[in-house]
Structure 1
Amino acid sequence: MIVGIDLGTTNSLVAVWQDGAARLIPNGLGEVLTPSCVSVDEDGSILVGRAARERLQTHPTASAAAFKRHMGSDKRIMLGQRAFRPEELSALILRSLKEDAEAALGQPVTDAVITVPAYFSDAQRKATRAAGKLAGLNVERLLNEPTAAALAYGIHQRGSESKFLVFDLGGGTFDVSVLELFENVMEVRASAGDNFLGGEDFVHCLVERFFAHEKLAPAYRNDAQFMQRLAAQVELAKRALSDAPRATIRVADGDAEFSMELDEAALEKSCEGLLARLREPVERALRDANLVSSELDNVVLAGGATRMPAVRRMVARMFGRLPACDINPDEVVALGAAVQAGLKMRDAALDEVVMTDVSPYSLGIETSKPLDAMTFSYGHFDPIIERNSVVPVSRVRSYYPVQDGQRCLEIKVFQGEARMVADNIRLGQLHVPLPAGARADGGVDVRFTYDANGILQVEATVQKTRETLALVIEGNPGTMSEQEIAHSLAALSGLKIHPRERIEHRTMLARGERLYQQLRGKAREHMGNQILRFERTLETQDQRQFEPAAKAFLEVLEYFEQQSVLHSED
């Protein structure tokens, strides 16, 4: 069984292709969205999902979110006394989704199609593969998120011909893909994006507006609990504007209370720089696809951040039409991943569907250029595979030393679009020994091969000796070696993961702790007593008491949650 997984910045989902259709698999709480959050509980056990998200506000130093943005880097994230790599935290999310799928399907799950932003780099893709391996999954395919969204839509249009653009704005990344559907072939024409533009950035802009509006002291920025509470309230207000003309952001700190009214005009003013940044990748993708917006048959929205009216208005203005949002934007990528899983399993209902993708980046090496007979200009980028080349793709180009008698050639590999390598991303380096002789005898054929998973292989063949060297790109600081993966796998296996069957109770307690910190006076005291009562019931280990106690505690939580919402709308 192969499952499809949307490993998101804010939320993650798992889906499966069954009985000729893609379906989402709920987690232990009965929800299809699992927050991409990890927390270490007081007893040292690991909490994943909504329970961890609730603890972001109450235990910010023991909880983590939005770590997808650091995939492929050497960043370490401290949770309590332990440092985690982004791959390890992502692996804990993937492991939780794997267990949910196994519980729902009643069979082991060992293989997965995992989606990644189309603009993810080589290092970020390798990090995602490593996370899958750490979670006990064989990653059958890394699928670009806009392509997955297109599959979810396009599968219903087989036999038709259309050109459409997928506008995918998630919690942490932004991707654009232009696709063409013809004769049951789904062809990606071009992709572009921004790996540091998403819903989290809109929240950050509104947090900055709140600080300016309330003239808050800089010391508040160092208060992790206050900042998490503020970010949570900003997120709620941002979402509320999807259905209401205005919302109130209200945050308490002891006896002090701060508030700010927010409407759509204020949001657009605060985030105008981010809205402007959404345009450039769209224009680049259309240029690379040799299309103008009027030639598109449809514009498809994906990613939870596209729910913002400001974003939808901007898209409508750019394309002169309302975008398609027939499928829930939070779910569309996971459903497309399940379609790809069905293709991998060669499901009969999908036999006629063929899909092609492209390389989102240009890939090449550093070269020098002669200025005259004796002088060279160094550090130039020479693309071997141009961006938006159809994958899999293999290209070869010949290079020569700059002087006679040169005994080696340094092949330095980069990705990016800038003219100089200093402005691109370095991927690795290959040291190629050359035979003695004139520079003409030192020619080297450099072959780049880029596969459907977005993984690059580099080979250099000395023309005179036919000796070939291969580059395994593992030198980036964010790429885990096989030894590091094995060590991390052993360390993760030793972690105490909170039992899936008890996660509902732990989530309720975390929610109660969050509300306790928000409340004051008698309401706060009442909430504390209710938490204590529920904890004591759980400690009895009497299963007969669990259900009525959980029901009563949930009613208390819902009541105070509703009171909080009503208060914020005053």
Structure 2
Amino acid sequence: MTTSSSDSTIIGIDLGTTNSLVGAVVSGFPIVLADANGERVTPSVVHYPLGGGAPVVGAPALRQRALTPERTIHSAKRLIGQRQGETGWVPEYETEAGDGGGVKVVVDGEARTPEEVSADVLRHLKAVAEEALEHDVRRAVITVPAYFNDAQRKATMRAGEMAGLEVERIVSEPTAAALAYGADRKEGAQKVAVYDLGGGTFDVSVLDINDGVFHVLATAGDTRLGGDDFDRELAGLIWQRFAAANGRDPEGYGDLSALERAKLMEVARDVKHKLSVTDEVTAEIPFFSGNAHVSEVITRDDFEGLLQPYLARCAAHCRRVLIDANVEAADLASVLLVGGSTRIPAVRASVAEVFGQEPDTSQDPDEVVAKGAVVQAGILSGSLRNMVLVDVTPLSLGIETFGGLMNVILPRNSTIPAKAGEVFTNAVDGQSAMCVRILQGEREMAKDNWELGRVDVPFEPSPRGQARVGVQFKIDENGVLEVLARNLQTNEDTVLEIANSAVDVADERVEQMVADSVDHAFEDMEARIWTEAKMKSDELLPAVSAAMEVLGDEIDAEEKAEIDAAVAAVEAAMQTKDANGLKQANRKLDDATEQLAARLVEKAMEESMERRGLL
């Protein structure tokens, strides 16, 4: 094996929940590479043999899943960057809480991180590429779901590094798919939707493609929705029918052994595939339980009935992404299908209904993400013509400000890489530090958003509004967030490394944030208006009291009565929780004290001039 091309070649990898693929640019064309058996698709499964030995990856490992499920790790992508119990998914193999709140898989008493398992898959893909290309490879582009957060993206990069790869770029799967579909398209502007339903995740994006420039307008999705869920539903149905016919508890699926569940999942997956091309399949497992055999007829209607709740969830995300992108379905030039689950006829029918057009099926849905990763790799290495790729942030990023409000610094769907910042001041007299809470989400109040991290910025105790702290958010092309907080008095910087952004908040918050912001829009806005109005009242009342004390007898009885009445109205409104009423009371107090404020300024100027001997 030579190494002449090892430094220039960048491979593209689709690290999927169910299957993974690797490709490269060969003779100017992006292709998906096959292994020694001629297979381009590698199951994302790793089997750890009893007593040690090299891990078994891919199809041979998948065959071991039904025999030794406790030592065969699949869908590790669902665990990567997560903590114990956070995924809402219970695999056949053992897991435990790891360091820093993460999750580990346990095989024969040995704990491994999901990154280590993923590294075994990536190491195998690297070997496949080296065998096909006949030289070493060290650089790669790896795809991830669009809704992967910072911790999950970093964990994926760590997995690549463990496998001996330098990860040049992390690319969102729908974006990679758009690259593959759009690489050879004619020039001109068009908008497309990418509908990506794989084994473990669902993503939908709207992109603007114009003369080789790919701009993601909006994206949405669900990191726990995919073909694996369909398999479990089918496995449950097969069990229920078998149990009813054999005097077993139909609700006892959860009590089955890991081996029995693995057998059901294997036959369910086979039934699912066959129902895409036929109307009826017999699910068979010889000697499933003792001498009892599974032999249950499953129809396409049975299967599609199980799918309806999942298709409804997908459809809701599709409608939301059109709203976020400010695009009508009729404006789309095409709807691109990605992921093996889009082969299911009911899925394609749902897509056609939601978008009002038949989806584009011109690309192999299993290979299109990998091919897009290869296109991106080719751009980076210079082996393909230059295309510009612009990705976006999935949720707004900001910090908590005084009163518990969310102050957005980088709005949702901001083009990345991105950088933005603001300057903030201390809210109270004598304050000696500012706690910068980094938040992600769409809600008006900080408490309703997802905390990514926090840092304290110290400064000299200062009167209210005198200390200044600059906060800058920077997201690189991989979607990794860096926060810089600067004390503008000393120019001292604190850079916040967000290593485990999902530790304290479940992933459901990310997926539901946009929906929650819509559902609670009116009450959230009411809460924000109330908080801002109360902060204004808290500022006004002591200022008015101090001004009246300074001016004393200079205020006539009529003006004093008007001001007192306005103060009383503000104090009464503060007890009501009526935001608009408090705003109106504040406005009346502002009007009532306008002359008072002017006289106070005049008095201060006169006193200053007297001290300077000018009067």
TM-score normalized by the length of structure 1: 0.79
- AA aligned opposite 2:113: R
Residue 264 of structure 2, aligned match among 227, 230, 233: 230
Residue 61 of structure 2, aligned match among 48, 52, 60: 52
Q: Say whether residues 1:103 and 2:137 are aligned partners.
A: no
Q: Paired residue for 1:462?
A: 487
The 2-side partners of 1:132 and 1:315 are apart by: 34
Q: Paired residue for 1:504?
A: none
Count residues with an aligned counterpart.
468
Q: Say whether residues 1:6 and 2:23 are aligned partners.
A: no
Alignment check: 8 A CA contact 2:198 2:340 kept: yes
Unaligned 5+ residue runs, structure 2? Answer: 1-8, 83-101, 505-615
Alignment check: 8 A CA contact 2:482 2:497 kept: yes
Indicate the larger mover: 48-57 or 243-252: 243-252
Q: Deviations over 1:384-411 (max 9, x none)?
A: 2111111111111233333211211111
Q: Paired residue for 1:119?
A: 147
Q: Paired residue for 1:501?
A: none
SS at match of 2:370: helix
SS at match of 2:204: strand
Deviation at 1:442, TM superposition (A): 2.2
The 2-side partners of 1:423 and 1:27 are apart by: 48
Residue 271 of structure 1, aligned match among 307, 313, 325: 307
Q: Paired residue for 1:146?
A: 174
Structure 2 CA distance for partners of 1:422 and 1:268, relative to 1, 3 Å: farther
The 2-side partners of 1:125 and 1:476 are apart by: 10
Alignment check: 8 A CA contact 1:245 1:264 kept: yes
Q: Deviations over 1:499-558 (max 9, x none)?
A: xxxxxxxxxxxxxxxxxxxxxxxxxxxxxxxxxxxxxxxxxxxxxxxxxxxxxxxxxxxx
Alignment check: 8 A CA contact 1:221 1:227 kept: no
Aligned residue runs from structure 1 range 46-445, under 5 A: 46-73=55-82, 74-213=102-241, 214-215=243-244, 216-217=248-249, 218=252, 221-251=255-285, 252-347=288-383, 349-351=384-386, 353-369=387-403, 378=404, 380-445=405-470
SS at match of 1:436: strand
Alignment check: 8 A CA contact 1:158 1:184 kept: no
SS at match of 2:187: coil
- AA aligned opposite 1:472: E
**Rg (Cα) greater in structure:** 2
SS at match of 1:327: coil
Deviation at 1:106, TM superposition (A): 1.2
Indicate the larger mover: 295-304 or 354-363: 354-363
Deviation at 1:446, TM superposition (A): 1.1
Alignment check: 8 A CA contact 1:40 1:63 kept: yes
Once the two structures are aligned, what percentage of the paired residues are identical? 41
Indicate the larger mover: 177-186 or 45-54: 177-186
The 1-side partners of 2:331 and 2:254 are apart by: 50
Alignment check: 8 A CA contact 2:471 2:484 kept: yes
The 2-side partners of 1:438 and 1:473 are apart by: 31
Q: Paired residue for 2:46?
A: 38
SS at match of 2:461: coil
Q: Deviations over 1:83-133 (max 9, x none)?
A: 111101000000000011111111110000000111110110000010011
- AA aligned opposite 2:463: A
Structure 2 CA distance for partners of 1:254 and 1:368, relative to 1, 3 Å: farther
- AA aligned opposite 2:466: D
- AA aligned opposite 1:42: L
- AA aligned opposite 2:125: L
Structure 2 CA distance for partners of 1:220 and 1:464, relative to 1, 3 Å: closer
The 1-side partners of 2:444 and 2:291 are apart by: 56
Alignment check: 8 A CA contact 2:149 2:501 kept: no
Q: Paired residue for 2:532?
A: none
The 1-side partners of 2:371 and 2:426 are apart by: 51
Alignment check: 8 A CA contact 2:318 2:354 kept: no
Deviation at 1:475, TM superposition (A): 4.5
Q: Paired residue for 1:562?
A: none
Higher-RCO chain (CA-CA 8 Å, sequence separation at least 6): 1
Deviation at 1:222, TM superposition (A): 3.8
The 2-side partners of 1:261 and 1:77 are apart by: 35
Indicate the larger mover: 149-158 or 457-466: 457-466
RMSD: 1.8
SS at match of 1:76: strand
SS at match of 1:434: strand
SS at match of 1:113: strand
SS at match of 1:441: coil
SS at match of 1:83: strand
Deviation at 1:229, TM superposition (A): 0.4
Q: Deviations over 1:399-455 (max 9, x none)?
A: 333321121111122323344445443322211112211121223221111111101
The 2-side partners of 1:423 and 1:212 are apart by: 40
The 1-side partners of 2:149 and 2:463 are apart by: 38
Alignment check: 8 A CA contact 1:441 1:464 kept: no
TM-score normalized by the length of structure 2: 0.73
Q: Deviations over 1:476-519 (max 9, x none)?
A: 4769xxxxxxxxxxxxxxxxxxxxxxxxxxxxxxxxxxxxxxxx
Deviation at 1:208, TM superposition (A): 2.9
Structure 2 CA distance for partners of 1:125 and 1:475, relative to 1, 3 Å: closer
Alignment check: 8 A CA contact 1:127 1:478 kept: no
Q: Deviations over 1:161-218 (max 9, x none)?
A: 2211000011111111111111221221111111111111111222333344334432
Indicate the larger mover: 465-474 or 397-406: 397-406
Indicate the larger mover: 249-258 or 414-423: 414-423
Deviation at 1:242, TM superposition (A): 0.6
SS at match of 2:462: coil
Alignment check: 8 A CA contact 1:119 1:361 kept: no
SS at match of 2:192: strand
Q: Deviations over 1:276-334 (max 9, x none)?
A: 11022212221121101000010000011111111111001111211001111000000
- AA aligned opposite 1:61: E
- AA aligned opposite 2:303: L
Structure 2 CA distance for partners of 1:186 and 1:60, relative to 1, 3 Å: same
Q: Say whether residues 1:20 and 2:45 are aligned partners.
A: no
SS at match of 1:58: coil
The 1-side partners of 2:498 and 2:154 are apart by: 10
Indicate the larger mover: 427-436 or 61-70: 427-436
The 1-side partners of 2:413 and 2:129 are apart by: 34
Q: Deviations over 1:47-94 (max 9, x none)?
A: 111111111100011111011011112111112221111101000000
Unaligned 5+ residue runs, structure 1? Answer: 370-377, 480-570
Structure 2 CA distance for partners of 1:289 and 1:27, relative to 1, 3 Å: same
Alignment check: 8 A CA contact 1:458 1:470 kept: yes
The 2-side partners of 1:439 and 1:179 are apart by: 46
- AA aligned opposite 2:450: I
- AA aligned opposite 2:214: M
Structure 2 CA distance for partners of 1:264 and 1:422, relative to 1, 3 Å: farther
